[in-house]
Amino acid sequence: MGKPDTRRLDKAIRLTERKLEAVRNEEMWPLTSSERRQVMGALVGGSYRVLRSKNPGHAERKLESMWQSVQTRLIAELTALQTERQRIVNEAATAKAAKKSSGWW
């Protein structure tokens, strides 16, 4: 019995880590369409308030909470992928140990 096939999960984990790093740098590409709309709405609202010489505090807080929620979503996704990978590795190890113990020697 060979090593467990975790290539697909490893690739998804790497992609999610890249997305998380991009969100920490406040890049837009890893966001879903609804998250992009929310970010753009907060940016537009804050810009409008600055243009009218008013305090953009609410829009800034909304934008910050949006980035935090995206990070939380990606961290949860990353944790789920890592847990699934570990489960596959553990199953393969259990199967290998069972096969070894059932042998004649």
pLDDT tens for each residue of 12-62? 999 999 999 999 999 999 999 999 999 999 999 888 888 888 888 888 899
Q: Indicate whether 102 pLDDT > 80.
A: no
Cα separation, 80 vs 19, whole angstroms:
15
Q: Indicate whether 78 pLDDT > 60.
A: yes
With a CB cutoff of 8 Å and minimum separation 6, the contacts of 55 are 49
Residue 4: phi and psi, rounded to 5, are -70, 145
Taking the model in full, what pTM does it have?
0.84
